[in-house]
Structure 1
Amino acid sequence: MTDCLTGCAESPGDFAARLLAWYDRHGRHDLPWQKDVTPYRVWVSEIMLQQTQVGTVIPYFQRFMARFPDVHALAAATQDEVLHHWSGLGYYARGRNLHRAAQQLVDQYQGQFPRQRQALEALPGIGRSTAAAILALSGGQHEAILDGNVKRVLARHRAVQGWTGEAAVQKRLWALAEYLTPAERVADYTQAIMDLGATVCTRGRPRCDACPVADDCLARAQGLQSSLPTPRPRRKQPLRQVCMLIIQGPQGILLEQRPPTGLWGGLWGFPEVASVAEASGWCQAQLGGEPVRHEAMEPFVHTFTHFRLHITPVRVWVQNPAGGVMEAVGRVWYKDTAQAGLGLAAPVTRLLNQITQEDGEINGSHGEMRNAG
């Protein structure tokens, strides 16, 4: 008899059994967050793994755990320090939400993770799938997850048409995820279906010959592996433009802290203007004088999920900025060996490294660089 949900005669237990047998032999068992498993370690790994490959996450996770070994250490840290350890990982709202959620966990739950999915979902940055993953992976609770890898496996196995971001498609996939999640070995099954999507049922060139559930995969039977899941409707990415002022004075390079929300929220970066022509005016208004000289560097494009940012870096040398320039909250003079704990956006780090590599140690004397020797 064909089940009305799965569209096949297969039982959910059969799907899980095949997947678990494959996982026992071929799954990933040595990832850092699979050792000394706690809700905290699972949570941090799940947040880091959003939109980010495992290979990229591993060194960040290890450094993060070394500095913030538990939720109390994370809650007690400053946002600057948290974002510094997040620098380069991207999607910085994840780091800010992680910090805020840690503080709420300490304040409201004495640092303990609630065992109810809805309570976890109420914390900043934790959605339904992440909350379920925390409970399933750390405690074996019967919760279904639906991250990007799982969506791909289920959309192909059941030939679910439509972009997975659509509400109706999401509802269908959630129903499948809940139906197929077994009552036993929930943690292993959860890791197994994620591993299957990450290593076998991949976005490009899925290895169907190695898949434990390929025999009744509808996408494979219909030759739809390359077209499922249905891609997101393409939208032209808008191009924004900005000039970053790399202002170099006697004490180093001027950095400003960005507002707590929005693009690169809470990170440190260069002052920004709309065009190169505004560089001198900005210095006059903010530093109390004209720059000694300025020159534009090679522009480049930094790509975000929804838009591209065309960045024109402008190096600006100043000699004697007004004394009040540093009275503004959220400004520092940066040197390559100082302020090591600041959270910096990737383009800012790139430009600071470029300046150091090309010219040597940052030194603002007379608006020039001194070679480090």
Structure 2
Amino acid sequence: MSNSYEVVTDIAEIARLNEELGRRLSRMFKVKRTREITYPAGHETGTVYFETATGLHVRAWSPSERRDKFINFLLVGDPSSSSWMQIDVQMNFPANSYNRRMAGAFVIDEHGHTLVAHRGKLTKGKAGLHKTKVFREFASRVVEADDKGLTSKVILISALDDPELANRLWGFALEAREVATRIGAEENDDTRGDSAPAIGGSGGGSGKKPAAPPKDPMLKLRSYFDEYAGEGTSKGHGGGKRTVEHGDIVKALETQLRGNGRSQKAQAIDLAIVAAEVDLYEVKTSASTTDVYTGVGQLLIHGECIHELLERTVRRHLVLPMAPRASHKKHITKKGGINIVTYEKDGGGYHFQGLA
């Protein structure tokens, strides 16, 4: 199988990359404290580096090295407190000999960029969560990578040389904690036999028969969880950096639109805002002819499927970093009935133009 991503498996190279990760983080995390750190398997006394010396929810990093692994605990806490700190995420990498049990991984994309990734190993309490459910929640950043002769799924978090490395790491840690809570609650509901109502069905007191689930599971709408739900592939969205960026854009778009209706998603759909009518969004990280053609096709086909499923008018929106060329835009908007939305980077977020 030919993949566009490759997990770094050479132990010497992993050690070098972990050292580089530490060097970059140490520039920001300089306030040194000794704290008791707790995690599902127990607790230990460790050195914690805080981002600032004051505050209640200050980002913190605790690196260390053991015989079999390089440890990076991501935490949040009060630098002036002596209370125990619970880790949010472990970004550990194999040392001494290669193994896939560590949660962290370094990945090389098709352009030669090195990315920090996570293998989807999360826990709730002392119980490990099903990785398939974890990958479902981070699906916009899930890719398949060649892993020493095997194919592994990983969640891309950040390019190692990204100036936003720390923000992306601790953003992932926050999302991971939320994901663990959601999956834990979902599994409790499954255990009790409490099945949630079908998302997007007629429901309520309308008297209509609830819509049958779509035959294609990739078009089954479900609640939006701060991540696009597209199926991860070996090629991602044209490279690791673009894959990470895609999830950021969809998240920013959902944040701005969530007041207009219920935010929903499907494996094949970036974002749907469901109210009396449905607004369907497809996000692309370039305005290339290929991306524009692909986005238009997805909106036309998926829009018809959603219209048939929900029996509601569907408005289609193609979200691009810039407008397509004039001849394409005219036919997309007039004959295709698709609204063009453009975005640009705005500080730490995105600004959108053309939202209806």
Give the TM-score normalised by the residue count of structure 1.
0.23
Give the structure with the larger helix fraction: 1
Q: Which protein, 1 or 2, shows the higher relative CO under an 8 Å CA cutoff with sep ≥ 6?
A: 1
Which structure has the larger Rg over C-alpha atoms?
1
Give the structure with the larger strand fraction: 2
Give the TM-score normalised by the residue count of structure 2.
0.24
